[in-house]
A and B are shown apart, each in its own frame.
Chain A
Amino acid sequence: MLLGSSMPVPEKLDIHSESFLRSLMRRQFRLSLVCAAAFMAGLFGLPLANYFLPDLMGARVFGFTLTWLILGIGFFPLVWVIAWLFIRQSMALEEQEVARTGRRSGPAELAGIEADRRSGAGRF
């Protein structure tokens, strides 16, 4: 694979290597999967609870049935918490990956990103 000449050498870790990609994808996928599992446990668990524990789920809480309260109101905050944790973790993960490669944004890349931003008209 061709490497651009502007790249800072030496590198701690070859970012084009198979092992880097493998570990990168595995770590990100594991994080996503853990979060998804937490959320799906709730999503797929509730119908089962309704099915097998109708009396408990039909119990009244502040006028709501328990299951109505969980589904109609309780789910949204749960999703927010999972999303927040995921975003925090995945940002940290990216930070680690960048540190691991030792390839900080060189001036070339920064210029590239800036140009990308500037090519569109300003924001409003």
Chain B
Amino acid sequence: MRIDLYILAFSGVTVMATIWLGFWAARKSKTAHDFFVAGRAVSVGWNASAISGEYLSAASFMGIAGMVMSVGYDALWYPVCYACGYLFLLLFIAGPLRRFGAYTIPDFAEGRYDSPIFRKIAVVFVLFIGFFYTLPQMKGAGTTLAYIIPGLPYWAGVVLVGAVITLNVALGGMKGITLVQAFQYWAKMFAISAPILVLMAVYGHYGHQLRQAGSMSSGPMLPEVRSVQGAAGSETVVTVRRALPEKAPTDDAWLNPFGPLTTKAAKAAKLSPEQAKPYSLLYTYSLIIALVCGTAGLPHILVRFYTNPDGAAAKRTTMWVMILIGTFYAFPPIFGVLGRSLLPELYAGVGAKGTDKIVLELPRLLNDRFAPLGSVLSGITCAGAFAAFMSTFSGLLVSMTGALAHDVYGRMLRPQATAEQRMRMFRWCAVLLGGLSIIGGMQVEPLQINFMVGQAFAIAAASYFPLLFMSTWWRGMTMKGAAVGMLAGGCLALAAISLTSFSDLKWVDLGIFWAAHPFLRILCEQPAIWAVPLAISLMVVVSLLTNAEVPLDVRMKMLVLHAPERLGLKQEYIQEHQQAR
């Protein structure tokens, strides 16, 4: 396969536009304040587009389509819960957090409990969850570049994209990023919707494609439909399905709930489909909890709420974010559905050549009939993919770098550092973390993008979400309770997830054990169902045991968190604190 010039051109333009915007914004952001939270004065429309741009990662753009194609119905929970998690954020966390007003989550942790130690713990967690979430972005970068330039090794894409973003962040800080991300949301929205609308016009609409997928469901294993390969020239080809390769799931399993994703563990244990169903239900619930609570706990999303002028604006922003991302998320599954009938060869591929690249590859089919339209549209989706992992990676890098430069350096190591020193440190930290992410990203080629993101969400769900939720709504929380709950929940979830990932990567051999204990396998792969309640109960128990240590001015803190901003309690609180010191 040779390099497709259209694809190269479109991706090139996106990357150039991103870099140019970054530099342009960098010239405008001068102060340290600008660097960290964009001067805290970003308008609702900009901020909503930027949050959405940051949120729609490689997992959303490529991963969901790939996963819907490979496992079918069960994968739909991902886009739905990615979007619904925002509602949770809005209902319980967004308003109070903004009213409390602090730069980062560690700021909140320290402010709420008056504890510098807790700040350090929170910083470690910001870095940690952020890092876990950068890995799938890196995989997206490697996959896309290997597609655009055939022959380029996976790692080269990771290095190239990683280096570009790192440079961008090091130069622009948060403000540069806000503008770039707002632009990238619209780039992604266009890139996911335009090609699929054209594809549906040519090959039949969403429902039509699904009807096909189910109409031969009762047949034997494979292949269900034999068709003439390469018959794309004729007019009747529209409804013809290609034969499914060996590795593809059957139509029945693919179309209906409790398919390959959720029954994997039970299948390995050789349970009958009927016996497997309760396990699938458990898996589904745990997945839902992880995704919904995880959204509310992702640090790089939360930091964005501080860039709203006030609490009311924060709420309006969330509303817009939900509309923007909800609209977006209706599209990727369509790629998966069309991919199943039109490009089944991808089922046979692994790593960067598997279903994860369906979004990039699918539009090219149009070349058979309307060349070069297919290449143009494929170029557009490649550009969108670039926008996806570039924006999310930038956001993560900003929040991780912020934690390192603002908290570790600016507060712990050298509190007396000048603003200029801090900005220089911000740049060095960006380079350091960017480098680490690139090295990590090179290791994860065999894992599915969307799966990795789900894992990052599960860890966030078991650590940050309980912390934020309980700190906001329960006065009895103590620092010790919060720390114990967050650490135990996060670490146990991480341990369980690592165990399954390591055995999937064949670093440890647990195949026999998992086959004997499908229940444990599910609880390890999707730990949210036990880890979230565990973290919350630990918080309650430890807080009750140490209830003498509840912060003295907890009533005032709660008032600042919950009373309307117009009452001016925040200013009063700050004055009191200054007097106390």
* A and B associate in one complex: yes
Contacts known (A25-B473, A51-B277); A112 close to B568, Cβ less than 8 A: yes
| B203 surroundings in chain A (CB, below 8 A) | none
Interface of B, secondary structure class, is: helix
Tell me, yes or no, whether B73 is within 8 Å of chain A by CB: yes
Please determine whether B256 and A54 come into contact, CB atoms closer than 8 angstroms: yes
Please determine whether B568 and A79 come into contact, CB atoms closer than 8 angstroms: no
Please determine whether A21 and B558 come into contact, CB atoms closer than 8 angstroms: yes
Interface of A, secondary structure class, is: helix
Contacts known (A122-B41, A123-B41); A29 close to B473, Cβ less than 8 A: yes
Contacts known (A15-B563, A64-B210); A36 close to B42, Cβ less than 8 A: no
Closest beta carbon of chain B to A66's beta carbon, Å: 11
Of all chain B residues, which has the CB nearest A73?
B330
Contacts known (A24-B562, A120-B33); A68 close to B322, Cβ less than 8 A: no
| B288 surroundings in chain A (CB, below 8 A) | 43-44, 47
Please determine whether B257 and A57 come into contact, CB atoms closer than 8 angstroms: yes
Taking CB atoms and an 8 Å cut-off, the chain A residues in 40-81 that contact chain B are 43-44, 47-48, 50-51, 54, 57-58, 60-65, 67-68, 71-73, 75-77, 79-80
Q: Complex Cα distance A48/B278, Å?
A: 10
Please determine whether A71 and B77 come into contact, CB atoms closer than 8 angstroms: yes
| A64 surroundings in chain B (CB, below 8 A) | 206-207, 210
Contacts known (A21-B555, A36-B88, A91-B315); A80 close to B564, Cβ less than 8 A: no
Closest beta carbon of chain A to B283's beta carbon, Å: 10
Tell me, yes or no, whether B237 is within 8 Å of chain A by CB: no
Closest beta carbon of chain B to A80's beta carbon, Å: 6
| A83 surroundings in chain B (CB, below 8 A) | 86-87, 90, 318-319, 322
Of all chain B residues, which has the CB nearest A91?
B312
Please determine whether B76 and A121 come into contact, CB atoms closer than 8 angstroms: no
Interface size for chain A: under 10, 10 to 19, 20 to 34, or 35 or more residues? 35 or more
Of all chain B residues, which has the CB nearest A93?
B564
Please determine whether A15 and B73 come into contact, CB atoms closer than 8 angstroms: no
B residues contacting the other copy or chain, number (CB 8 A): 82
Tell me, yes or no, whether B38 is within 8 Å of chain A by CB: yes
Q: Complex Cα distance A71/B31, Å?
A: 46
Please determine whether A86 and B91 come into contact, CB atoms closer than 8 angstroms: yes
Closest beta carbon of chain A to B91's beta carbon, Å: 4
Q: Complex Cα distance A16/B560, Å?
A: 10
| A119 surroundings in chain B (CB, below 8 A) | 33, 39-40
Contacts known (A15-B567, A63-B208); A36 close to B91, Cβ less than 8 A: yes
Taking CB atoms and an 8 Å cut-off, the chain B residues in 11-30 that contact chain A are 28-30
Tell me, yes or no, whether B83 is within 8 Å of chain A by CB: yes
Q: Complex Cα distance A85/B208, Å?
A: 34
Q: Complex Cα distance A50/B257, Å?
A: 7
Q: Complex Cα distance A104/B31, Å?
A: 33
| A36 surroundings in chain B (CB, below 8 A) | 87-88, 91-92
Please determine whether B76 and A72 come into contact, CB atoms closer than 8 angstroms: yes
Chain B 244-286, CB-CB to A under 8 Å as 1, else 0, gives 0000000000011110000000000000000001000100110
Q: Complex Cα distance A40/B274, Å?
A: 26
Of all chain A residues, which has the CB nearest B91?
A32
Q: Complex Cα distance A91/B565, Å?
A: 11
Contacts known (A63-B211, A98-B567); A76 close to B329, Cβ less than 8 A: yes
Q: Specify which of A4, A39, A106 is in contact with B87 (CB 8 Å cutoff).
A: A39
Tell me, yes or no, whether B410 is within 8 Å of chain A by CB: no
Closest beta carbon of chain B to A19's beta carbon, Å: 11
Tell me, yes or no, whether B229 is within 8 Å of chain A by CB: no
Closest beta carbon of chain B to A42's beta carbon, Å: 9
Please determine whether B576 and A2 come into contact, CB atoms closer than 8 angstroms: yes
| B322 surroundings in chain A (CB, below 8 A) | 79-80, 83
Of all chain B residues, which has the CB nearest A82?
B87
| A113 surroundings in chain B (CB, below 8 A) | 310, 565
Closest beta carbon of chain A to B177's beta carbon, Å: 13
Contacts A65-B214, A65-B255 aside, 7 further interface pairs with beta carbons under 8 A come to A15-B563, A48-B281, A64-B210, A75-B83, A94-B566, A120-B39, A123-B46
A selection of 21 A-B contacts at a CB cut-off of 8 Å is: A4-B575, A16-B556, A21-B563, A25-B558, A47-B257, A63-B205, A65-B214, A67-B257, A71-B77, A72-B80, A73-B330, A83-B322, A87-B319, A97-B567, A103-B567, A105-B566, A108-B571, A112-B570, A119-B39, A120-B33, A120-B41
- The 9 A-B pairs with the shortest beta carbon distances in the complex, nearest first, are A120-B39, A63-B207, A109-B568, A76-B326, A63-B211, A50-B257, A94-B564, A62-B207, A32-B91
